[in-house]
Every structure is written in structure tokens, then in C-alpha cells.
Structure 1
């Protein structure tokens, strides 16, 4: 009976954690109409109201930059940022917003690094992502290029890449080379599947995560995030000393 009860035991839930302790959300798609995130200024404002309700004081939004699909550049991103900021000011919403980007690892990204035309946040941090279909061969070289150019690389949603499931040595190798790791809070909900949830929990347990984020594309993501506040692994990572969110 003891074995069966352990087998089917549900993850214990804690009291909802106050996300105000994070201060800042890193990784979202709030600039309207430029990627697969917010479709309108009204939608952006609805998400920002929810961020504020959850206790966040600041968001660093990160539109996709992908040469073949999302041809965003600083002019487009920062122009959209000003539109959102004006709406925040008009409404009197008590939240700050900055913008950088989520760069897809491709030749265009490497060209931007070489020209030092990369949007950064914090202490010259840069968020980048990989293909979900297969491991890309140049990740080590790109980490080196970023560091050599004075940037501090952060790999987005490391727990979501199937080719890294339980490949902790590979991830540790990137960490040892100077790459920080970002995790999506909603991965702990099972939104992206049980494999991603398990990987997210393991990475937190192994103390391999430096910063967490909503990766919010629409209001539903924030409503789901609200429900994750009772998750013990979220409590664990938020209470981690040195979590980057609190410094951004």
C-alpha cells in the first residue's frame, strides 16, 4: 500500500508565493503586432495589468528576432516600446517596461553580434533561443562570440529543448563557458508537456537556472502562471540566492 500511495501521490502544494519578490519578469512578447505575442495595444495593456496584479514592478519584454520570419530591429522594437510606455503613462499603471529581444540563433544573429547591433538588458545581457527540432552545431561558437563582444548570453527556456532532456553535462558545459540559463515558469505547470515539466524540476533541483520568466504571449499565459504560484519548485527557485530577476 505504501508503494502505491507513493506512486500516485500528487505534488504537494504550498501557499501561493508573492511574485513581488521577483520584481522583474524577463522574457515576454508584449510589443503589439510584431511577433507571435500581443496582437494589439489593448491586449498588451491587459497583460501589463495582470503583471502588476501579480506583484511585478517591471517587465523586460523580448520580441522575436529571426531573419526568415520575424524581421524585427531596434527601430521597430523601440518604437513599439514607446507606444506601450505612453499607454502605461496615460493609464497611470504602476509598472515599468523595457525592451530587448529574443534572438534566434542563425547567421543574422551572428552578423548582429559582429556589428554590435544587439539589443541588451541588465548588465549587457542578451537572450537567445535555439531551434526546437535539432541541436544547432554553432551554439558554443555563438556563446564565445557573445562573450568576446562584451555580452552576457542567456539561453531562453533551456528546459524546452527535447535534445537536452537529461543532457545535464551538455548544459553544464555551456554554463562553464559563461552562458546563463533561463527557465519558463509555466513549464512547471505541464503546459509544454510532462517531459518539459520534469526537466524544469530537475534543472531547479540541480541549481542550473539563473533567471526565470513568463514567456508571456497572451493573457492566458499569465492566468496559468498565477495558478503555478503554489508549486514547490517555483518556491524553491524564487528563494534561490542570486536569482537574476531581482537585480534587473
Structure 2
């Protein structure tokens, strides 16, 4: 475990979260890491911040990133080989982040984060028609849906009642860590604060894509500000996903 304290006893690592369940660190298959060297840099940096387990979640979005389970796990295996060569002991697994649109198909071979949790997202500008039914269908299929970064969907800024209904239907909600730091703008930060106050979130993730994300995250963690904002929130990352390697 990583526990670093400044003179003011600020917690300046992220071992309190432990497991990152949302990142785009696999090489060359979406808008995240472009190559293996960048991927290895991301992994090492996240480990230095205090993560001990990463679940890579490249996009599956037919229009832009028509990834499959085979493509994802091939990229994951390539990164694992580089990690082994570099003696990086951090635990790596892979799932996918599914764009729920007209091409989303529950009858295809799916790529959950573990055996039962499926990470889904929508367009930031328009709610997916029938999203409530889709969440229900995911559960009927035997999976537990996780809605990625609900605070970033502009259509919920003034009315979060649907998010409450999703929760009532059993959908988990995942916070982007940088949202609370204001990275995505004032409105996103404000909705994230409201959802945190109402204990709506179940999980948190970096949603790491590039070096700017990493730099902002590193500053937030090492300054102690991220723990100050989120360290006492009851996220379930380790409770739900820490058992993958148990």
C-alpha cells in the first residue's frame, strides 16, 4: 500500500481507491494510448500514484472504434508482456466501454469488466432513446450495468431524476475523478458535487486518455486535493473488483 503524508498530514496518493475501473490505456485501439511505450508510461505513472489494479476499458463504438473482445485482449496481452519485461507488478485486466446507440448489440460476445459488470456510455449531447429499456435489457442478459460519467451528460444538468430511476433499477454510476476537479467545466463539477452529496455514485475511475489527463490527475492526487474531495466517499471499487485477482 502507498501512504504518503505531507507535513500537514495530507494524503497524497490514491491507494484509498486502489482499483481504476475505467481507462483508455491499451495501445492503438481507440482515442487513448497510441502505442505500447505510452501505455507502459501510463501504467507506471498510475502505479506510482498508488493504484494496484487497472481495468482497461477501450471504447466499443462501431462508428469510430469497432473493437471486439479479441482485439481488446490482444492489446491487453501486448501491454502485459511489456509490463512483465519492465518488472511492473501492477495487476492489469480488461473490459470495454460500450457506446449505447443503434449499433449496441447485446447478442454479440460481450466484454464486461469482470464476469458480470458492463460499462456503458451515451453521447454527451443527447440521451440515447430507450436508455431505460436498454439498462433493463442488460440486466435481463445477466449483467450489472455501470453508467460511465453521468455528470458529463448535458441533458441531466437541470434534471437528474432519471439518474435516480436508473439507480432504482439497479444501474451503478461511475464518477470521473477529474470531474470533481473542474477539468470538464463548471456544470459538470456542480452535478458531480450534487451526486456525491446524495450518495448516488458507486464507483470512480480515471477515464485516462492522454498525458493532459495524467498530469491533471497527478497534481490532484499529489497535492492532497483529490483525497480531500473524495477520500472519505464510500466507493466500491475494491469491494466489487478487488476480487478479480483474489
TM-score (norm 2): 0.89
8 A contact 1:14–1:231 mirrored in 2: no
Instruction: Specify the alignment match of 1:7 in structure 2.
Output: none
Return the alpha-carbon distance in structure 1 between the equivalents of residues 124 and 191 of structure 2: 15
Instruction: Compute the displacement of 1:94 (Å).
Output: 2.1
Instruction: Compute the displacement of 1:218 (Å).
Output: 1.4
Instruction: Specify the alignment match of 1:72 in structure 2.
Output: 67
Instruction: Specify the alignment match of 1:238 in structure 2.
Output: 231
For residues 37-48 of structure 1, the aligned pairs below 5 Å read: 37-48=32-43
1:50 aligns with 2:42: no
Instruction: Compute the displacement of 1:15 (Å).
Output: 2.2
Name stretches of at least 5 consecutive residues in structure 2 with no aligned partner.
Answer: 1-7, 242-246
Return the alpha-carbon distance in structure 2 between the equivalents of residues 185 and 68 of structure 1: 27
Instruction: Compute the displacement of 1:189 (Å).
Output: 1.7
Instruction: Say which structure is richer in helix.
Output: 1
| Structure 1 SS opposite 2:201 | coil
Instruction: Compute the displacement of 1:14 (Å).
Output: 8.5
| Structure 2 SS opposite 1:21 | coil
Return the alpha-carbon distance in structure 2 between the equivalents of residues 90 and 25 of structure 1: 22
| Structure 2 SS opposite 1:77 | helix
Which of 127, 133, 136 aligns to 1:144? It is 136
Deviates more, 1:99-108 or 1:208-217: 99-108
Q: What do residues 30-53 of structure 1 show as CA deviations (whole Å, max 9, x unaligned)?
A: 111111000110000111011010
For residues 1-248 of structure 1, the aligned pairs below 5 Å read: 15-109=10-104, 111=105, 113-115=106-108, 117-122=109-114, 124-229=116-221, 230-231=224-225, 234-235=227-228, 237-241=230-234, 243-247=235-239, 248=241
| Structure 2 SS opposite 1:126 | strand
Q: What do residues 127-150 of structure 1 show as CA deviations (whole Å, max 9, x unaligned)?
A: 010011211221101101100010
Instruction: Compute the displacement of 1:203 (Å).
Output: 0.9
TM-score (norm 1): 0.88
| Structure 2 SS opposite 1:131 | coil
What CA RMSD, in Å, does the superposition of the two structures yield over aligned residues? 1.7
Return the alpha-carbon distance in structure 1 between the equivalents of residues 164 and 219 of structure 2: 30
Instruction: Compute the displacement of 1:166 (Å).
Output: 3.8
Return the alpha-carbon distance in structure 2 between the equivalents of residues 26 and 134 of structure 1: 25
Instruction: Compute the displacement of 1:22 (Å).
Output: 1.3
Name stretches of at least 5 consecutive residues in structure 1 with no aligned partner.
Answer: 1-12
8 A contact 1:188–1:228 mirrored in 2: no
Instruction: Compute the displacement of 1:169 (Å).
Output: 1.5
Instruction: Specify the alignment match of 1:10 in structure 2.
Output: none
Instruction: Compute the displacement of 1:123 (Å).
Output: 5.0
Q: Which has the larger radius of gyration?
A: 1
Return the alpha-carbon distance in structure 2 between the equivalents of residues 95 and 240 of structure 1: 24
